Amino acid sequence: MAATTGNVRATGESVPEIFESMDYGPAPESPDVVRAWLDKHDRSFGHFINGKWVKPEGRKTYQTKCPATGEVLATTIQGEDEDVELAVGAARKAFESWSTLPCHVRARYLYSIARNVQKHQRILTVMESLDNGKPFRESRDADVPLVVRHFYHHAGWAQLMDTEMQGWKPIGVVGAIVPWNFPLMLLTWKVCPALAMGNTVVLKPATYTRMSALMLAEICAEAGLPPGVFNVVTGNGRFGSKLACHPDVDKVGFTGSTEVGQLLRRAVAGTGKKLSLELGGKSPIVVFDSADLDSAVEGVVDAIWFNQGQVCSAGSRLLVQESVFNPFITKLKSRMNHLRVGDSLDKCIDMGALVDESQMKTIKEYVEEARKEGAEVHQVSASFPKHDKGFFYPPTLITNVQTVSRVVREEIFGPVLVALPFRTAKEAIALGNNTNYGLGASVWTESIPLGLEAAVSLKAGAVWVNCHNMFDAAAGFGGYKESGYGRDGGKEGLYEYAKPAWQDRPRPNCGEINYTTFAAKYGATVPPMPGSGTVGDKSLTSDGAIVPGIDRTYKLYYGGGQKRPDGQYSRPVIGQEGRVLALVGEANRKDVRNAVEAAHKAAPGWGKRAAHNRAQIVYYMAENLEIRRQEFTQQLQLMTGRSEEDCRREVDLAVQRLFYWGAYCDKYGGTVQVRFGDV
């Protein structure tokens, strides 16, 4: 009842009246400690570079505001190119010593950070809610505990790197770019594995949410982390692209929208940088008639209205079996009507504020468009805070909508749920996979065989059974299709921040590319032709006569056969000595399209083949490569100019690789990830 004490004083209600109405009163968390920290820094922040605050002169400023109240928390600066140079330079210098530290020493640093984050857990929780607008309860119970968990977990991996990651070494300087929906938690998904593997980091937080990252940087310094190992620079999207494209950044880890991820991939193409992308999603929640409907309703509430729906893996598409669709929607609407929207520091609310006015405007446009299309829109008549400075939007459910509607196909990134019925399990899987995204999904049923079969059939990076959005540092997370590639968390996430010990980052050596034809430009010059009269272009007959050699036409290969290029152009393959070795077909856009279509057509059948059968095919490829070993060795010699021994070794390694993956074909299987709290 302590939560209602303020309500008694404010409204004059007596204790019996409160028990009669059973209304919730506000239970606000005090922001005084955060405000004291902000005041200590005069509410003005620069970058955190090389273990200290750096505030260059003449920089534009940006006001960081609390989305729930509109209160200006602090002023931060918009970084310039010189700031990227300074931060990356500090990280590069620190890498020389940090990467050579014994694994145990790096583990102790990460362990110390975990301990210090625990000591400051409450202030980080309040800062996260003020900075982002999410409910204090979510920051306290989910975000910050996962931050602590990631530091502890990766302290363990830092300790074990020598034994568990033999043959791997740090990449170098990591440029990390994180979004505004989980500014602190997603930061650790990049920073922890990067530091554990011996890399140094330059982090750019999102424009809207910079304060949590800056506070964590200070905590890391207090924990004794050497200067330059972890740097935080602030700026807009253009500033982030400058960081990603800096020539001394060896790895880029990005979490954000699909559109920005695609731009980033183009920007770093050909630079030799390692890139991982965790992008948007349109995750399905599949509820079968065999599910516990009441539990599933609670699961849906957590799946879509957690963090106001501003979650990449939010369950924004609800697929319910037709036989229970109506009763399930009735139960869900009843549960929705009890959700409370309010100030982010109120411990009694279920939803906080959206991060920015532009985000709220976008969500409204999607919902209004669905209304005009004839969809039924159910919204909670939530009583928002009396002030009009926050960006609040009610929980929304859309039914009676077509599958071609934008609200079904596109990521809304807000508290909007779209519900569709299905009849059979096969139809549910087809609807679930009918999206460009593939980040997350959940299946709700009390039939274990049905749940596992559906989970395997859904094309998503993470599929939960009878739960949704369950994350842990030991479980890898990432997407397929337009949801990105690469993994955060788990052992597989470590490989994103390490490289084979023999490998050095290749520096870009690209010609000028014509993106219209996907080919190098020759301009008005005729491409060079294979020279006549050179050894290998002519043959000797049995009577000693010299005749032209039989020409070998190198075509394109896709769809299981040799294809002539649609554009009927060829391009030369030039050897190390400048000699034209052959002309090969030059693909145009139509050829690329045909090849991609052929791959899509073959994918279902290849995936359904028995694992043993796939292994036999890969072994057969290795066998044929071994038969033509000498031929490939000679071709490599001509193209690279390397010694015969080196070229033969490369062919042998290729055969070994085929054998390696052939061996893995029938060893690979899904694994059940155990949450650390259940062990």
Residues annotated as catalytic (active site), given as ranges: 278
In the Cβ-directed half-sphere of 432, how many Cα atoms lie within 13 Å? 31
Nearest to 617 by CA among 606, 628, 601: 606
Helix (H) or strand (E) holding 186: helix 185-196
Q: How far is CA 572 from CA 28, 272, 582, 591, in A?
A: 71, 24, 6, 18
Rounded to 10 degrees, what is the CA torsion of 87, 88, 89, 93?
Answer: 110
Token pair recorded at residue 478 = 């990432």
* Residues 471 and 450: beta-carbon distance below 8 Å: no
DSSP 207: S
Burial class of residue 619 (count of CB atoms within 10 Å of its CB; 0-12, 13-18, 19+) = middle
Its sign, for the CA torsion 311, 312, 316, 318, is negative
Q: How far is CA 428 from CA 420, 451, 491, 678, in A?
A: 10, 12, 32, 30
Task: Give me the DSSP letters along 93-149.
Answer: HHHHHHTTS-HHHHHHHHHHHHHHHHHTHHHHHHHHHHHH---HHHIIIIIHHHHHH
| The residue to which tokens 């994350």 are assigned | 471
Token pair recorded at residue 140 = 């306290």
Q: Angle, nearest 10°, between helix axes 211-222 and 103-119?
A: 120
SS3 of 595-608: HHHHHHHHHHHHHH
- Determine the length of the chain: 679
CA distance 61 to 79: 9
DSSP 497: G
* Residues 444 and 291: beta-carbon distance below 8 Å: yes
Nearest to 229 by CA among 49, 100, 79, 86: 49
CA distance 298 to 555: 57
Task: Give me the DSSP letters along 451-486.
Answer: HHHHHHHS-SSEEEES--S---TTS-B--EETTEE-
CA distance 425 to 454: 8
Amino acid at 510: C
CA distance 84 to 584: 43
| The residue to which tokens 């087809």 are assigned | 430
CA distance 405 to 258: 19
Q: How far is CA 480 from CA 251, 427, 445, 468, in A?
A: 20, 21, 24, 18
DSSP 351: B
* Residues 67 and 354: beta-carbon distance below 8 Å: yes
* Residues 417 and 398: beta-carbon distance below 8 Å: yes
* Residues 458 and 288: beta-carbon distance below 8 Å: no
Amino acid at 413: F
